[in-house]
Amino acid sequence: MNILLVGASGGIGKALQNQMARRHPDSTLLTAARSGAGLSVDLTREDSVAQLADEVKGRAGRLHWLINATGTLHGPDWQPEKQLRDINGETMSSVMAVNTIGPMLLARHLVPLLTHDEPAVFASIAARVGSISDNRRGGWYSYRMSKAALVMGIRTLAIECARRAPRLTCVALHPGTVDTPLSEPFQRNVPAGQLFTAEQSANHLLDVIESLTPEQSGKHLAWEGSEIPA
């Protein structure tokens, strides 16, 4: 089995890399990130994504799993918006570029390597806050919008792939609240027992990925496998 993990330098990405190496030691595992070991990719630049696709094709030929573990919620100079007056167009664009456009560029250039006669998976980390019907608290405009748009992108991708790659399952995955730098500023109100280590989250996500069927393609699934409403 040939696997590509994008975002391998992040908290969940590193844990996924460790757990996949343990669970699937005979597989070819390629990793990609903006910096660090492995292949280089900048999801905000389409030419970089296209170059990644060429490199993966040269090394592996075809893929069986593509897991995208990239994402952004805050930066050194900005935090998620608490209210309307906090919206900044440049910040919102940068969040959409990483959380929504980047994963769809991965699909654009790498789904052809997942299109074959064997079971395959395209999975991208999403978030429960991307559920429109589950939004009861408001705030976090850019992050919520970017993840909701990602879920719609995955759903649309699944519909297209069902016609020409019926053995390819495309899903958005909610990893739970994970103890990583991304969530660190917002962990204070997480109920006891609901903050996962990166290793716990990675194991949950791999349990879901390993049990996927084509009938689940296009769904937004939580870490324990339940479907999250749109």
Q: Which pLDDT does position 181 carry in this prediction?
A: 82
**pLDDT tens digits, one per residue of 38-73:** 999 999 999 999 999 999 999 999 999 999 999 999
Question: E-strand spans in the chain?
Answer: 2-6, 28-33, 39-40, 65-68, 120-125, 168-173, 177-178, 195-196, 220-221
Nearest to 151 by CA among 39, 230, 53, 67: 230
167, 4 contact by CB (below 8 A): no
What pLDDT band is residue 192 in, cutting at 50, 70 and 90?
low
The CATH code for residues 2-221 is 3.40.50.720
DSSP-based three-state secondary structure for 108: helix
- What would the mean pLDDT of 186-197 be, rounded to a whole number? 78
Output the pTM of the full model.
Answer: 0.94
Domain spans in the chain, listed from the N-terminal domain onward: 2-221
Q: 151-186, pLDDT tens digit by residue?
A: 999 999 999 999 999 999 999 999 999 998 888 777
Q: Which run of H or of E encompasses 215?
A: none
pLDDT of residue 190: 74
Question: Which tokens belong to 46?
Answer: 């389409």
